[in-house]
C-alpha cells in the first residue's frame, strides 16, 4: 500500500543525470560551506577571492554568488562584498511558519493521491538506521532530506520550487542555531512514521496536521536554543 506507483515508474526516469557545469560546482561548494557554517555569519565573499579559490574566472564566481544571493544564503548591497547573513529570531519564525504552510499542503496532496514517494521511504530508512548514531549533524541532514523527498514527490512543481527556496535558508538556520544537539532522533523518526502512515492511509487532514505539528516542534526547539544563546551574552536583556 505504501507505493501504489509501479516499479516501472522508477524505471521510466532512469536518472536525473545531473550534469555539472562549472558555475554549478562553485555554487554547490559555496552553498555547502555556508550551510555547514564552515563560513560563519558575517564572513565576506569577494568575487575575486572566490574566483581564485576555485580557480575559475570572475564572471563564473559572480554567477554563483548571485544565485546564492537570490536564494537568501548570501546578502549583499551594491558595490559591496557578499556576506553570510545572520538570521534573527523573526527570521526563524518566518522561515518555519511558511515552511509549515507549504509542507502541510504538500502532505495533503500526497495523502489525496495515496502515494508515498519511494525516495522518501529510502530517506526514512536511512534515518532509522542512524538513529543510534552520535553524528547529530548527519541526522539533521537526513531529516531535511526526508522532507525534501516528500515534497518533491507530490505533483505540484511550483510547490516544490517554493519549498526548495525556503529549505536553503532553513538549512542555514539549523546550522547557525545548533539545536540538534538537544534533539531526540527517535522522536523525529516516530513523527515521520506517523506522517507516512497518514499519507498511506489517504488521511489528508491527519497528514497535514501531523506535519504542521512536527514542523512547529522543530521551530520551538530552535527558538528556545536561540533565546538561550542570546540571553547569555546580553545580561541587560529584560
Partner DNA sequence: TGCGACAACATTGTTAGACAAGTATGCATC
Partner DNA sequence: GATGCATACTTGTCTAACAATGTTGTCGCA
Contact residues toward DNA (CB under 7 A) are 21-24, 45-48, 55-60, 62, 78-82
167 binds, among a second copy, DNA, none (CB under 5 to 8 A by kind): none
Residue placing its CB nearer to a second copy in the complex, 2 or 22: 22
Residue for cell digits 538556520?
Answer: 173
Which residues, listed in sequence order, are joined to residue 75 by a DSSP beta bridge? Answer: 83
80 binds, among a second copy, DNA, none (CB under 5 to 8 A by kind): DNA
In the complex, minimum distance from the CB of residue 235 to a second copy, in angstroms, rounded to a whole number: 30
Is residue 45 within 8 Å of 30, Cβ to Cβ?
A: yes
Residue number with CB closer to DNA (16 or 55): 55
| 21/231 with CB nearer DNA | 21
Q: Which does 42 bind (CB under 5 to 8 A by kind): a second copy, DNA, none?
A: none
For residue 57, the partner it binds in a second copy, DNA, none, with Cβ less than 5 to 8 A by kind, is DNA
User: What is the binding site for a second copy (CB under 8 A)?
Assistant: 19, 21, 59, 63, 66, 70, 78, 94-95, 97-98, 101-102, 105, 156-159, 161-162, 165-166, 169
Partner whose binding site includes residue 165, from a second copy, DNA, none (CB under 5 to 8 Å by kind): a second copy
Q: Which is nearer to DNA, 13 or 79 (CB)?
A: 79
CB of 34 to DNA, least distance (A): 15
188 binds, among DNA, a second copy, none (CB under 5 to 8 A by kind): none
To a second copy, the closest distance from the beta carbon of 156 in angstroms equals 5
User: What burial class does residue 70 get, using C-beta atoms within 10 Å of its C-beta: 0-12 exposed, 13-18 middle, 19+ buried?
Assistant: exposed
In sequence order, the β-bridge partners of residue 82 are 45
C-beta closer to a second copy: residue 97 or 122: 97
Residue nearer to a second copy on the CB measure, 83 or 98: 98
Amino acid at each position: 500500500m505504501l507505493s501504489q506507483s509501479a516499479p516501472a515508474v522508477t524505471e521510466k526516469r532512469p536518472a536525473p543525470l545531473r550534469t555539472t557545469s562549472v558555475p554549478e560546482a562553485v555554487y554547490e561548494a559555496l552553498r555547502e560551506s555556508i550551510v555547514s557554517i564552515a563560513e560563519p555569519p558575517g564572513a565576506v565573499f569577494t568575487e575575486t577571492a572566490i574566483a581564485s579559490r576555485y580557480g575559475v574566472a570572475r564572471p563564473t564566481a559572480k554567477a554563483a554568488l548571485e544565485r546564492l544571493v537570490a536564494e537568501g544564503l548570501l546578502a549583499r548591497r551594491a558595490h559591496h562584498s557578499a556576506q553570510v547573513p545572520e538570521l534573527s529570531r523573526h527570521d526563524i519564525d518566518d522561515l518555519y511558519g511558511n515552511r509549515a504552510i507549504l509542507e502541510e499542503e504538500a502532505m495533503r496532496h500526497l495523502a489525496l493521491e495515496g502515494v508515498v514517494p519511494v525516495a522518501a521511504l529510502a530517506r526514512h530508512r536511512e534515518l532509522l538506521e542512524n538513529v543510534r548514531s552520535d553524528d547529530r549533524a548527519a541526522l539533521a541532514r537526513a531529516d531535511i532530506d526526508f522532507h525534501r523527498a516528500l515534497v518533491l514527490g507530490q505533483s505540484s512543481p511550483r510547490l516544490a520550487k517554493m519549498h526548495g527556496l525556503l529549505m536553503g535558508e532553513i538549512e542555514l538556520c539549523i546550522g547557525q542555531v545548533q539545536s540538534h544537539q538537544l534533539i531526540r532522533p527517535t522522536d523525529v523518526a516516530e513523527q515521520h512514521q506517523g506522517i507516512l502512515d497518514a499519507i498511506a492511509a489517504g488521511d489528508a487532514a491527519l497528514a497535514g496536521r501531523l506535519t504542521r505539528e512536527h514542523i512547529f516542534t522543530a521551530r520551538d526547539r530552535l527558538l528556545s536554543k536561540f533565546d538561550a544563546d542570546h540571553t547569555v551574552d546580553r545580561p541587560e536583556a529584560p
